[in-house]
Amino acid sequence: MRRTILFLLTALSLAGLSQCSEKPGTPAAPPGRNMFGRFVPRGLIKTSEGLAPGYVMYVVPGSGSTYLVDRDGQVVHEWKASFSAFFPYLMDDGSVYVGVNDPDFAVFNDAGPYGRIQRISWEGKILWSYELANDSLILHHDIAIKPNGNILALVYEVISYDEAMALGRAPHLTPLSGPWMEKVIEIEPEGERGGKIVWEWRLADHLIQDWDQAKANYGDPALHPERVDYNLGDTIPAPISLDSLEALRAAGRDELNQTRYSLGSDLYHFNAINYNPALGQIAISSPEMSEIFILDQSTTTEEAASHHGGKSGRGGDLLYRWGNPQNYRHGDSTAQKLLYQHDVRWIEPGKPGAGRLTVFNNNAPNLPDSVSYSTVLEIETPLQADGTYRQEPDGHFGPDAPSWRYMAPDTLSFYASFISGAHRMENGNTFINAGTAGRFFEVTPAGEIVWEYWNPYRGQERQLNGDPMNIMPMVYWVFRATFVPVNHPALSGRELEPMDPQPEPFVMQPPPEKTTKD
């Protein structure tokens, strides 16, 4: 969370508008270095002949609406959740699972919590709802749907300051309210509301620390890459001043988690989860660590809390990690490959590169200059026959370079410092969501953009007291966008025509011109 804020402030200072050439027959191309996409043309920007037929699905920011948009940029269907929604996942029967913002969760503010999951039918009926949002636990960021219909979900878990100390956390790294730890749960839906947690994994069971020999988890992090060094991170920054706090309140911005009591709570900020049924494994992204992890989900809950069991024989320990070997003391900063990444997922069977991972690398590290940009990476993991992953002789996990990478030819125009995602399509192209601007585009393996669309919509979500939400700076943001091929089972037998009328685009009013006095 702290790093997110720093990136956001940097991006705001760099988001100048550069002009791009206009292509005949299409709207003017959006300016290059404009991370939030304000005051640029929206809707369909580019199309090409020979595109794979299909649609794009995404949640409209500030609303409960999930739109399905055709290749011409027309909305052809809408699902509606009861509150502001998050990611959408499309099921074979035409229903979608969405994360839904719980309007009254207490402890958590910012950092991606939502608290509820809803399943909404094609016709708009809420088929199922599940809530986990209280003072110590809340659903956040992402889910994965297993073939058996169960749901894997990320959960923030608050532990007390004393518990953190007992586990070996350094006091200068620990908020007085206690840190937010991470857990993964598997939910078995029950009835129309509710579900049973049938499996869980807790990060707190897989820590290592060399801060205090008298505390739990003591050992050498370099000898235990299967565990997470509990004392990574910086000293908690100073709380913001009262003047800054008042400025945030006046601007309608969040003011929680800014005190010495709670600042720095979000230690790991898991932001993506993906399931591989063939392996029985889970992939997770931790942007605060600039790493992706793989876990064995064939364990029982008891085995997941230990270092033994499951197909791998390693319990809930990390099977694989990649992106920042400094975290387990193998390599220096020049070995870092990821920086605040999002949306790790396996490429699915039948698609080029199947079995490899893709990840949206928000801030490419080790740049020769000081201006950040984003890349999309394809990673071939060193998977072994027994489901574990080979380590290099010096102890780090490979590969040392991605199998494929996309970045803008000018590097600078493709930049989203947080959220965002990417996934492989059946034709071998890659579908990319630069989430901060709500920009979706399809690129070939050679990096050519063949289709591009900028979200023109925004809802009118309001605060509980009825006041409008502050829309700045991410007016058109989209956390997750998904390409849906025309042969998806959910679309079978359905006539998909553009809605008439189309939803009303949201148009930002330009700032008032400054006047000078004589």
Q: What is the CATH number of the domain that holds 400?
A: 2.130.10.10
For residue 261, the model assigns a pLDDT of 72
For residue 292, the model assigns a pLDDT of 98
Q: Is residue 517 part of a domain?
A: no
Q: Is residue 295 part of a domain?
A: yes
Yes or no: say if 483 and 443 are a contact pair by the CB < 8 Å rule: no
Task: Evaluate if residue 508 carries a pLDDT over 70.
Answer: yes
Closest CA to 451 of 78, 37, 55, 20: 55
**Domain boundaries, position 108:** 2-491
Q: Is residue 263 part of a domain?
A: yes
Task: Evaluate if residue 4 carries a pLDDT over 50.
Answer: no
Write the CB contacts of 516 (distance below 8 Å, at least 6 apart in sequence): none
Tell me: the pLDDT tens digits for 44-62?
999 999 999 999 999 999 9
Yes or no: say if 168 and 216 are a contact pair by the CB < 8 Å rule: yes
Task: Evaluate if residue 161 carries a pLDDT over 80.
Answer: yes
Three-state DSSP at 12 gives: helix
CB-count burial class (<10 Å; 0-12, 13-18, 19+) for 99:
buried
Write the CB contacts of 199 (distance below 8 Å, at least 6 apart in sequence): 185, 186, 297, 299, 300, 301, 304
Yes or no: say if 126 and 111 are a contact pair by the CB < 8 Å rule: no
Question: In the structure, what pLDDT confidence band is assigned to residue 371 with cuts at 50, 70 and 90?
Answer: confident
Question: In the structure, what pLDDT confidence band is assigned to residue 404 with cuts at 50, 70 and 90?
Answer: very high
User: Rounded CA gap, 95 and 100, in Å?
Assistant: 15
Number of domains, the chain: 1
Section 423-430 average pLDDT:
98
Q: Is residue 513 part of a domain?
A: no
Q: Is residue 496 part of a domain?
A: no
Task: Evaluate if residue 1 carries a pLDDT over 70.
Answer: no
For residue 69, the model assigns a pLDDT of 98
Q: Is residue 497 part of a domain?
A: no
Amino acid (1-letter code) at residue 166: A
Q: Is 387 left (phi over 0), alpha (psi -120 to 50) or beta?
A: left
Tell me: the pLDDT tens digits for 204-240?
999 999 999 999 999 999 999 999 999 998 778 777 7
Task: Evaluate if residue 20 carries a pLDDT over 70.
Answer: no
| Percentage above 70 pLDDT, the chain | 88
For the record, the structure tokens of 424 come out as 């492989």
Of the two residues 51 and 39, the one the predictor is more confident about is 51
Mean pLDDT score of the chain, rounded to an integer? 89
Residue listed under structure tokens 């969405």: 98
Q: Is residue 180 part of a domain?
A: yes
User: Rounded CA gap, 208 and 317, in Å?
Assistant: 11
Lowest average pLDDT, out of 238-247, 369-378, 482-491, goes to 238-247
Section 128-152 average pLDDT:
96
| Cβ count within 10 A of residue 354 | 12
Question: In the structure, what pLDDT confidence band is assigned to residue 18 with cuts at 50, 70 and 90?
Answer: very low
Q: Is residue 385 part of a domain?
A: yes
Tell me: the pLDDT tens digits for 244-291?
777 766 765 555 555 667 788 999 999 999 999 999 999 999 999 999
For residue 260, the model assigns a pLDDT of 62
For residue 16, the model assigns a pLDDT of 34
Q: Are strands 54-59 and 481-485 parallel, antiparallel or unpaired?
A: antiparallel
Yes or no: say if 28 and 428 are a contact pair by the CB < 8 Å rule: no
Residues in the chain: 518
For the record, the structure tokens of 74 come out as 């027309």
Question: In the structure, what pLDDT confidence band is assigned to residue 517 with cuts at 50, 70 and 90?
Answer: low
User: Rounded CA gap, 265 and 277, in Å?
Assistant: 33
For residue 27, the model assigns a pLDDT of 46
Backbone phi, psi, residue 113, to 5°: -75, 150
For residue 516, the model assigns a pLDDT of 56
Write the CB contacts of 281 (distance below 8 Å, at least 6 apart in sequence): 275, 294, 295, 296, 297, 298, 319, 387
Task: Evaluate if residue 241 carries a pLDDT over 90.
Answer: no
Question: In the structure, what pLDDT confidence band is assigned to residue 468 with cuts at 50, 70 and 90?
Answer: confident
